[in-house]
Every structure is written in structure tokens, then in C-alpha cells.
Structure 1
Amino acid sequence: MNTQTLFQMNTIFISIIIEALPFILIGVIVSGIIQIFVSDEMIAKIMPKNTILSVIVASLLGSIIPACECGIVPIARRLLLKGVSLPAAIAFMMTGPIINPIVLFSTYIAFGNSWTMVLYRGGIALIVSIIVGILLKLFIKQSPLKSELSSHTHYHSFKERIAAMLKHSIDEFFSVGKYLVLGSLIAAAVQTFIKTSTLVSIGNGPFSSHLVMMGLAYVLSLCSQADAFVAASFRSSFSTGSLVAFLVFGPMLDIKNTFMLLSTFKSKFVLILIVIITITVLLVTIVL
């Protein structure tokens, strides 16, 4: 490995970290607010009992929280501990980084002020989340969380609540931060040694093009606020369906996000989730 290659990898690594950190901070702060200020009873009143309705409601909640795929993992974990069903929490985690206003607006700008790709991206993400939610309801019967400790401390003042929220957010930040660093380092190494042109060259067929763009999204590990501009650069080489696959799959699964999932959920569940999301995104976007 020469100095230039090492420098390139280091640059990519730092850019991924800098891009993700603000949204990690938002995620752990929102997680802290949910932990301290939102009761189990409040969650129970908001979320419908019906699986499909709860998935739709949870998916749409993502539109008001500007978190990326890393920052949303701690929030999803906190929702599960507060009693939100697994399909709804995972749907929120999958669609939050896609249908929030910042991401949809960046998609609109990247594709020449066109609403077509915005509607495809948001609509397909919602369809995928519903399908994945139903499958998780059918196949996962036990809690997938590694740890289910959740304190129920009573606070006597607003000041105590704020202090507890900040402490929880700091603990959560250092808990997930090491996985962000590890995932970002691996993503940087993969981007450095596996050239994008190599992947693009094998993605000529209608089926392979979807797989290549999904693989590219996983490898690049872009923040969902910026990935639309990269996708737009492939418009002359790839079909609309494969571009949508890139825009939907990347925010749901990438290298750094996988490590953060492994820090929160049991390995077997993460493997099942990866398989279900991959197959669902592939089939839905091929139909498109």
C-alpha cells in the first residue's frame, strides 16, 4: 500500500465520519428525549394495533426527524424498549432516512427539479417497509435486541430530566460511536481498493444492474442527504428502476449501518433483516 493510496483511504474515512456525526448527535439526542420525556403509555396511544397501520404510521414519523441511517438506529432501539412493535420500529428505521424533507428535497434538486424520482423513492421505500414489516411479524417471535435494560426512574424536577436526558444521549453516543468508526474505516477501505468502474462494467443486464447499484450503495455508505447526486450521475448508464434501488437500499443498509445494527440487535436477526430487505428491494424495483 503506497502513501497516495493510504492518503486517499484516510480522506474517504474522515469524510464519512464528518458526514455522519451531526446526524448521530441528532439521533442520540432524540433517543434521550424519548427515554426521559415519552412514556410507554403515550407510545401505546399513538401507535395503532394493526401491523400494517402501525408500519405506515411509524414510516411517516420519519418525515419529521432529520436522521440518517446511523443516527436512526438508537431511536429505533429506544422505541422498541418503549413498547413499539418490531415491524413498526424497523419500518421507522428503514424509511426515516429516506422520506424526511431534507432527503426528498436533495433528490428533487439532484434529478433536475423533477418530482418523478422523489415519488418513486418515497413510494418504493414505503412499500418495502410494509412488506418487510409483515415478514418480520410472521417470522420473528422473540425480541431481537441484545440488551433490554430500560430504567424507569422518577424525576422530581425538569432540571433532573434534562440532566438525565443529556447523560443518556452521551452514553448512547459513545456506545454507537465506535461502531460508526469501525464501519466507516471498512467502507473507506472498500471504496479505495474496489473501483466503482469495476462494478459498473458488470451491471449491463436488467437484473444485474439492480444488484450492482444496490452493491454500490452498500459499499459507498453515503449519507442519504447526498446519495441522490451520486445516483443522478449514473442516469445515462442505468435504468430508472436500478437508480431507485440505489436510492432505497443504501439508506436502509450500508457497511457502517450494518455495524451499528450489530451493536444493537442480535447477529441472527441482523442477517435475517439484511436478506429480507435485499430481496424485497430487488424484487420491488425490478417490477418498477
Structure 2
Amino acid sequence: MLIRTISNRALFMLIWIAAFFTVIVLNWDAVGRPAAESAHVQSFKVMFISILLEALPFVLLGVFISSLLHIFVSERTISRFIPKHPLPGIVFACLLGIVFPICECGMIPVVRRLLRKGMPLYMATVFVLAGPIINPIVYASTFMAFRSQPEMAYSRMGLAFVVAAFIGLFIHKFVRKSDLAIRGAQANGLDRGAISHAHASCGNHGHEHKHDRSLSSVLRHASDEFFEMGKYLILGALITAAIQTFMARESILAIGQGEWSSQFFMMGFAYLLSICSTSDAFVASSFASMFTGGSILTFLVFGAMLDFKGTLMLLSVFKKKYVLLIAALLIVSVPLGSVLFQYVLLQ
């Protein structure tokens, strides 16, 4: 655990140092350059710093509340209220993120414990998909990022609910046996190897809170989660600023205004960036003037439901075929839903 924590913090500091020197080098090289080139460098720096400054308060708030819940709220308390009927169960799972406002990094350990306590597979899947989006912190960050377009925040919550509910109903109807989806060791007990893999991907989310419920434990957990998520935010801000500054605007507009090209570009972009759902809205809002509202919505929903690091964590609990099924359903349902929301709410 200590080695992993040191590794996460070392990587975080290396990314910060790389970002700092990138800005310094660009500023140094801008001296003596033509005015147009210097303007590009200034635009890059302003874009990068503004994304970080806007997102950091929500990341800090998110990891602190996540840590409080992780340490003090037992999953057993939640499991007592799980409905038996599938329709109320799906609605309950969609809204469970309001009680557990944690990002996708901390979702898998919680879901693994809930599955062991008897939560049905379809409900666990819905919670994994909807939880990182339908929660008050993500709503607040999205609303702040799109202050001039508040309908984007409503649309994000609504589309996440619709997509998660649809996939939950599909799983309930066609994937009835948990052993077809959940890894064998996980179905019968705790899979030590899978847990180690998931912890390596998303930081320390173990069972420490069962033994230590002190403030220092909360702060330690929050610190680990912040260092884990921070590196993705910095990388995302760097790449976003670089794309918008150095990629020809005509090329971006050609992709961004195409009804389907913009959708697939934003899905791939969100998957590779793997930015936490508490801060991805600030990256998305920087593309608002160049991409369609539907493709921005796709970025906000698809990326929070399935990204690169999230895929690794899903594979630590679920079988490969089941994860591929979830990915296929998301690739189809999220763009279709986004286009529909675009014509109805985002005009």
C-alpha cells in the first residue's frame, strides 16, 4: 500500500513538473517569435491554467465527500434498502449516486462489496454506469462549467439516467445468471488478484475504513484519491489546450460540426483521457463553441461511464465478454440518446 501511494504521488509530481516546464519553455520560446506564434502560446497557457483552476475545487470537494462516505457509511446500510422488483431496483440504482457521490475511481470497490452482499447484477451494473454522473457534485461542476447553457447539466443527468436504465433492463432480461458475467472467484468470494489490480488502477480503496474511522483516515484516503485523479486532470487539460491551440480550427470545426463524426471523436477522446467525472465538464466546455451540443453531451456521459482506466477496473470484477457487452451497448445508446437530446433540449 505504501509503495503504491508513493508511486501515485511520484507520478503525480512528475506530471506536474512536466506541465510546469512545458509552460516555462513555451513562454521562453515565445520571446522573439512572430506575434501570431506568441499569441498561440499565450492561448495555450491561458486554456491550460483556466481548466485546472476551474476544476480543482470540485475535485477536492469530490474526494473529500467520497472519503467521508467511504470511511463512515457501510454498504450494508444501503443493501437493506435494495428493492426486490426490477423497475424500482433500477431507479434506486440510478439514484444511489446521490447517497454515494463518488467518481468512477472509487465505484468498483463499492460495487464489488455490494455484489457480495447480494445486490443483483443488473442493479450493480446500473450503479456503476449512473453513479459517477447522477450525484450532486458532478451536477454542480457541470452546471458551473456550462453557466451559459444550464440545460447541459440537466441533459447530462437525464441521458445518464435513460442510458443506465436501458442497459439495466437489457441485463435483467438477457443476462440472468451472474456466473455468466462475474468472475468465478468474485462470485464465490473475494478475488485477491482482481482487487490488487483494481487498487493499482484507482488507488487505495480497501477495507481500512472498517478498522480506522478517524479524521486522519479520511484525510489519508482523500489524499490518495486526489493524487490518483489529479494526474488525469492535468493530462486532460494539457491535451485539450494543445488540441484547441495548435490544431487548425478548420479541422476541428469539420469534425465538430459533423453530426456523427463529432460523436465518435468525442467518445474516443473521452475514453482515452479518462478524466474524473467531477472535472470533465470543464474540459468539455472548452469545446462548446466548436462541437455540437450532442457531441459534448456524449463526451460527458460516455467518458464517465466507460474510459480506459474504468475498463481495467471493470475487468477486475466482470468477465471480458460482459464488459464488451456493456461497451457495445454504450457505444450505440449514448450517441443515439445524445442526438435525440440535442434536437429536443440543446437547440
TM-score normalised by structure 1 residue count: 0.72
Aligned to 1:280: 333
Rounded to whole Å, the distance in 1 between the matches of 2:339 and 2:124 is 26
Secondary structure, counterpart of 1:275 in structure 2:
helix
Q: Match of 2:283?
A: 230
Distance 1:123 1:223, change over 3 A: same
1:16-27 map, 5 Å: none
Amino acid aligned to 2:182: L
How far is 1:95 from its partner? Answer: 1.3
Which residue of structure 2 lines up, in the alignment, with residue 82 of structure 1? 117
Q: 2:158 aligns with which of 95, 108, 123?
A: 123
Aligned residues: percent identity? 37
- Equivalent position SS for 2:260: helix
Q: 1:77 to 1:217 in 2, by over 3 A?
A: same
Q: 1:91 aligns with which of 117, 126, 129?
A: 126
Map Cα deviations across residues 54-101 of structure 1 (whole Å, 9 max, x no partner).
Answer: 111111110122211111111111111111111211111111111211
Give the letter aligned to residue 142 of structure 1. S
Could you say what the CA RMSD is over the residues aligned between the two structures, in angstroms?
Answer: 3.9
The answer to whether the 8 A contact 1:106-1:226 is kept is yes
The reply on whether 1:211 has 2:235 as its aligned counterpart is no
> Quick one: structure 1 residues 133 and 164, their matched pair in 2 at CA, closer, same or farther if it must change by over 3 Å?
same
Q: CA deviation at 1:109?
A: 1.0
Distance in 1 (CA, whole Å) between partners of 2:209 and 2:336 is 47
For residue 68 of structure 1, what is the amino acid of its counterpart?
Answer: C
- Among 135, 147, 172, the alignment partner of 1:100 is 135
Q: 1:34: how far off?
A: 6.7
The normalised TM-score by structure 2 is: 0.61
Q: Does the 8 A contact of 1:23 with 1:70 survive in 2?
A: no
Structure 1 residue 271, shift from structure 2 partner: 1.3
Aligned to 2:297: 244
Contact 1:73 1:93 in 2 (8 A): yes
Residues 260-275 of structure 1 aligned to structure 2 (within 5 Å): 260-275=313-328
Which residues of structure 2 form unaligned runs of 5+? Answer: 1-14, 23-47, 53-57, 191-206, 342-347
In the alignment, the residues of structure 1 paired with residue 271 and residue 151 of structure 2 have an alpha-carbon distance, to the nearest angstrom, of: 24
Cα distance in 2 for residues equivalent to 1:105 and 1:79: 27
Deviation at 1:251, TM superposition (A): 0.8
- The question of 1:112 aligning with 2:165 is answered no
Please give the alpha-carbon distance, in whole angstroms, between the structure 2 residues aligned to 1:267 and 1:21: 33
Range with greater deviation from structure 2 (65-74 or 198-207): 198-207
Are the equivalent residues in 2 in contact too, given 1:217–1:249 (CA < 8 A)?
A: yes
Instruction: Quote the residue 2:94 is aligned against.
Output: 59
1:253-273, CA deviations, whole angstroms, 9 ceiling, x for partnerless residues?
Answer: 111111111122222211111
Q: 2:256·2:290 contact (CA, 8 Å) conserved in 1?
A: no
Judged with a 3 Å threshold, the aligned counterparts in structure 2 of structure 1 residues 204 and 222 are, in CA distance, closer, same or farther, namely same
Aligned residues: 254
User: What are the equivalent positions in structure 2 for 1:3-82 lying under 5 Å apart?
Assistant: 7=18, 38=76, 43=79, 45-82=80-117
* Structure 1 segments of 4+ aligned residues over 3 angstroms from their partners: 19-35, 161-167, 194-204
SS at match of 1:215: helix
Q: Could you tell me how far apart the structure 1 residues matched to 2:329 and 2:113 are?
A: 23
Distance 1:121 1:61, change over 3 A: same
| Structure 2 contact 130–160 (Cα < 8 Å) conserved | yes
Distance 2:304 2:275 in 1: 8
Q: CA deviation at 1:33?
A: 6.1
CA displacement at 1:117 relative to structure 2: 1.2
- 1:261–1:22 Cα change, 3 Å: farther
Instruction: Measure the CA separation in 2 of the matches of 1:138 and 1:31.
Output: 32
Cα distance change of structure 1 residues 164 and 66 upon mapping to structure 2, 3 Å threshold: closer
**Within 2, Cα distance between the matches of 1:206 and 1:138?**
32
The one-letter code matched in structure 2 to 1:218 is: Y
Q: Structure 1 residue 145 and structure 2 residue 198: aligned?
A: no
2-structure distance, mates of 1:125, 1:63: 13
> Any conservation in 2 of the 1:27–1:72 contact (CA below 8 Å)?
no
Counterpart secondary structure, 1:105? helix
Q: Which amino acid aligns with 1:62?
A: G
In the TM superposition, what is the alpha-carbon distance from 1:195 to its structure 2 partner?
5.4
